[in-house]
Amino acid sequence: MRVTVWGENVHEQRDESVRALYPDGMHATIAGGLRALLDGADVRTATLQEPEHGLGGGVLAETDVLTWWGHAAHGEVADGLVARVCARVRNGMGLVALHSAHYSKVFRALMGTTCSLRWRNDGLRELVWTVAPGHPIAEGVPEVFAIPRHEMYGEFFDVPPPEELVFISSFAGGEVFRGGCCYTRGRGRVFYFSPGDQEYPVYHQAEVRRVIANAVRWAGPRGPVAPEPYPAQRSETGWFETR
């Protein structure tokens, strides 16, 4: 399994507080978690600032699962790349969208909705509850775990009803959030996971790393990613007879 961890890498450059938590960038920490937990996975990173945002030169074409974190610079992601990423998801690549990637161009285009939500950065406790204990993404994840300090994300979360809802979060202020959502788009699979905000050490936390690793494994394609999107296909009567 070839995994590319995409990081916007803006906060890490400009915010001392974020750099203190993620000295090599959030993407490096996320990638480290995957390398530790996914035997045999080939994990690399890519960032906004690289040419073609780090996804050119065959990188995207050699990616089986892409994780995406962005926040401050969604608008700077080139539309052409967004179209290529979405096409590859539909062709079978897995996508794991993390936290503020709910507002990324890629995720919004795949969902067809605003992906808006309620929020408040008060740094209080979030509890993540497993509501699909037999789901592959919940394997080895406790029935509930706490993120000691985090930003609140609350309902209404304007996404299509998830095909499978794996986690629901509650917050100290009383809000709830469907924070672990599975979707199918074409041959590809998409998982949205609401932790974690750049101001908190969420991606160092064992339970979060476990969920992301499980999600990458779940989202991975069963065979080769198709080279082209599904076409409109004219088929003669009995086209399947001689197969």
Q: How far is 221 from 122, CA to CA, in rounded Å?
A: 38
Evaluate the omega torsion of the peptide bond into residue 196 and state whether it is cis, within 30 degrees of 0.
yes
Determine which residue in the list 136, 149, 199, 204 makes contact with its own copies, applying CB under 8 A: 136
DSSP structure class, residue 77: S
Residue 6 binds its own copies (CB under 8 A): no
- The interface with its own copies within residues 193-222 (CB under 8 A) comprises 221-222
Q: Total residues contacting its own copies (rule CB under 8 A)?
A: 73
Question: Would you count residue 11 as binding its own copies (CB under 8 A)?
Answer: no
Phi then psi for residue 89, to 5 deg, are -60, -50
Name the residue among 68, 146, 72, 144 with its Cα closest to residue 109.
68
Pull the structure tokens for residue 131: 């509501």
CA 89/CA 165 separation, integer angstroms: 20
Nearer to its own copies among residue 23 and residue 133 (C-beta): 133
Binding letters toward its own copies, positions 100-129, x by CB under 8 A: ---x-----xxxxxx-xxxxx-x--x-x-x
At residue 73, φ and ψ (nearest 5 deg) are -135, 35
Q: Does 235 bind its own copies (CB under 8 A)?
A: yes
**Whose Cβ is closer to its own copies: residue 57's or residue 160's?**
160
Residues 140-159 that bind its own copies (CB under 8 A): 140, 142-144, 146, 154-158
| Residue from the set 139, 149, 201, 204 that interacts with its own copies by CB under 8 A | 139
165 touches its own copies (CB under 8 A): yes
Q: How far is the CB of 23 from its own copies (least distance, A)?
A: 29
Q: Is 202 helix (H, G, I), strand (E, B) or coil?
A: helix
The Cα–Cα gap between 21 and 48 comes to 20
Q: Least CB distance from residue 24 to its own copies, whole Å?
A: 29
Q: Which of residues 33-92 bind its own copies (CB under 8 A)?
A: 86, 90, 92
Does an H or E element contain 111, and which? helix 105-111
When the beta carbons of 11 and 217 are compared against its own copies, the nearer one is 217
